[in-house]
Structure 1
Amino acid sequence: MLEFSERPWGTYQVLHSNAFSQVKEITVKAGARLSYQTHEKRAEHWFITQGPAIVTIDGVTKTLQMGDSVDIAVGVAHRMAAPETNGVTFIEVQTGTYFGEDDIVRLEDDFGRN
């Protein structure tokens, strides 16, 4: 593990990082959700390892089960949410030119972050 971080919605840990990609394991607490956000410098691939998960991509919400995955292109608005009854864990594979946490444009956030 390269980095571990606790957030209001859950936790993430960086499992791999190089100049071209980064891999995180992300856990969202039951009833919590990530901010509705975009990235300018990276795309993401989400693979659900514990679910179900509620995913919103470009305004369309759907439920994903364990083993499902989804791709999010650069600049596309997206959000992951956990149902009230269970948490969600997923593997996030980022590809692009920059993977810093400051490449998050929050469109909506439950915790008042910009």
Structure 2
Amino acid sequence: MNYKENRPWGSFMILDEGNCFKVKRITVNPDQKLSLQYHNHRSEHWTVVEGEATVTLGNKTFSLKTNESIYIPLKEKHSLANQGESVMCLIEVQYGDYLGEDDIIRLKDIYGRV
């Protein structure tokens, strides 16, 4: 498996997937961030495995260090940023009835993808 896709902020690699789940390793480069977004068909669990993540969930912001995690409910707006000087990696576990990359509704994006 181990499908890898590069993005403007870094990359993700699919580690495993099944009928209703997908596991990714997400790598975010220094001073980069993912779009503010939500998903109509999946929830997500994020666990930081390297570096420190700045997570926006709803109207709150959290700082997560290695071995800390957060749950992203279905349809909750969220974003992820790496404000550090080295790469940040997390493991994302998606769960839902549809796990396609087109289930990303972007609300705000520094790369012009809204």
How does the TM-score come out when normalised to structure 2?
0.96
Cα RMSD after superposing both structures? 0.9
Paired position in structure 1 for 2:24: 24
| Segments ≥4 residues shifted beyond 4 Å | none
Structure 1: give runs of 5+ residues left out of the alignment.
Answer: none
> Per-residue displacement from partner, 1:37-72 (whole Å, max 9, x unpaired)?
000000000000012111110021111100000000
Give SS of 1:80's match.
strand
How many residues are treated as equivalent by the alignment?
Answer: 114
Q: Partner amino acid for 2:7?
A: R
Contact 1:48 1:68 in 2 (8 A): yes
8 Å CA contact 1:31–1:87 kept in 2: the answer is: no
**1:106 alignment partner in structure 2:** 106
Return the letter of the residue paired with 2:54: I
Please report how far the alpha carbon of residue 86 of structure 1 lies from its aligned counterpart in structure 2 after TM superposition: 2.3
Give unmatched runs, 5+ long, in structure 2.
none
Alignment of 1:1-114 (within 5 A): 1-114=1-114
Identity of aligned residues (%): 39
Is the deviation greater in 79-88 or in 47-56? 79-88
Contact 1:44–1:71 under 8 Å retained in 2: yes
**TM-superposed deviation, 1:84:** 4.0
